[in-house]
Amino acid sequence: MTGQDWMEKDFYAVLGVPKDADDATVKKAYRKLARQYHPDQNKGKADAESKFKEIGEAYAVLSDPEQRRQYDAVRAMAGGARFSAGPGGAGAGGFEDIMSAMFGGGGARGGPRVRYSQGGGASGAGFEDILGSMFGGGARQGYGPTGFTAPSQGADLTAQVTLPFRAAVEGTTADLQVDGRTLHARIPAGINDGKKIRLRGKGRPGTNGGPAGDLVVTVHVAPHPVWSLDGRDLRMTVPVTFAEAALGTTLEVPTLDGSTVRLKVPAGTPSGRVLRLKGRGVQASGASGDLLVTVQVAVPQKLSRKARQALEAFAAESDGEDVRAGLAERAAE
């Protein structure tokens, strides 16, 4: 289809809509006519197939905002001046000059084109998407407007949000500013740092009736001075004295809800051992994580004289024990 075709064809009349028809009206008119003149409903009728192509050409232009704007501009020019499409005529040169300015140098020969295919490939997929609901998904592949007119999904958008630790554990709703819109994203309880949430249909709008893209939100979780998230489990480190680790003890450990829970540290617990408190982690979707407590033996920075003497006596009593036995041999393997 050339720019000259745009001057000669009234696409509004083809679809039976006024020039100020909105997108919904254009689409509704197209669907009605496409159903009426679809080749599957008019087998052997050449005039119906020709009409169907003409409807597709009209919808291809009027359903695309930029193409419609250009078409209206060409039609407006046609109302105030006459152009000749014949080769070599003065009118043809003037027409190409104007079209070149409008369409980036393409002239009448470079105007938008609409292809019509009876093949079974991707060229018919867009029309199948549009008319799928009309014919129960059975619209024959290969009919309808193709190329830039096919319905296509909008682009996905990305966003990032940083949550306080407690909000990430308990779940929250975050307000996001995306493309000039304020979107509300529900953040599930127990989301970990770096996880992504996909919000269906919240991306860029589709074209020609295609679905909108998605919004992919990357969640960052602010660190907490005591707890960290590990899936649905909460982790924390609890310092104990050497005597507590060696002799065993029972500790009062804080929990995220402000209460405390008793934790038994068995005698002889080494530094770095992880003790598990069942059901004290993230509460979400009917399941509970655990609280994982890492025991860390705190080494005193200063010792009183009596404490030093006591440790020296302890060291003397355990002088025969080599805690690094076999280290060199294992390192040499």
| pLDDT tens for the chain, residues 1 to 333 | 555 667 788 999 999 999 999 999 999 999 899 888 887 788 778 888 888 888 888 898 899 898 898 888 888 876 644 444 444 444 444 444 444 444 444 444 444 443 433 333 333 344 444 444 443 444 333 344 444 456 788 899 999 999 999 999 989 999 998 888 898 999 999 999 999 999 999 999 988 888 899 999 999 999 999 999 999 999 999 999 999 999 999 999 998 888 999 999 999 999 999 999 999 999 877 788 999 999 999 999 899 999 999 988 888 887 777 888 888 888 988
CA gap 79, 90 in Å, rounded: 18
Contact 206, 225 (CB under 8 A): no
Provide the 3-class DSSP secondary structure of residue 130: helix
Query: What's the CATH superfamily of 157-221?
Result: Urease metallochaperone UreE, N-terminal domain (2.60.260.20)
DSSP three-state, residue 325:
coil
Topology classification of domain 3-149: Helix Hairpins (1.10.287)
Q: Which two tokens stand for residue 12?
A: 């509004």
CB within 8 Å of 269: residues ≥ 6 apart: 240, 245, 248, 275, 295
Q: What CA–CA distance (Å, rounded) separates 126 from 147?
A: 9
Please provide the CATH number assigned to the domain covering 228-317. 2.60.260.20
Question: What letter does residue 87 receive in the DSSP assignment?
Answer: T
Residues of the chain with CATH 1.10.287.110: 3-149
The residue among 235, 230, 244 whose CA lies nearest residue 300 is 244
Buried b (16+ CB within 10 A) or exposed e, 113-151: ebebbeeeeebbbbbbbbbeeeeeeebbbbbbbbebbbb
Task: Dig out the tokens for 333 from the structure.
Answer: 């393997």
d(CA 94, CA 78): 12
**Which residue type occupies 80?**
G
Q: Give, as one character, the DSSP assignment of residue 161.
A: E
The rounded distance, in Å, linking the Cα atoms of 83 and 93 is 9
Domain ranges in the chain with CATH number 2.60.260.20: 157-221, 228-317
Residues in the chain: 333
User: Residue 14: what pLDDT?
Assistant: 92
- 145 vs 124: CA distance, rounded Å: 8
pLDDT of residue 160: 93
DSSP string, 118-185: -SSSGGGHHHHHHHTTTTTT-PPTT-S--GGGS-BPPPPEEEEEEE-HHHHHH-EEEEEEETTEEEEE
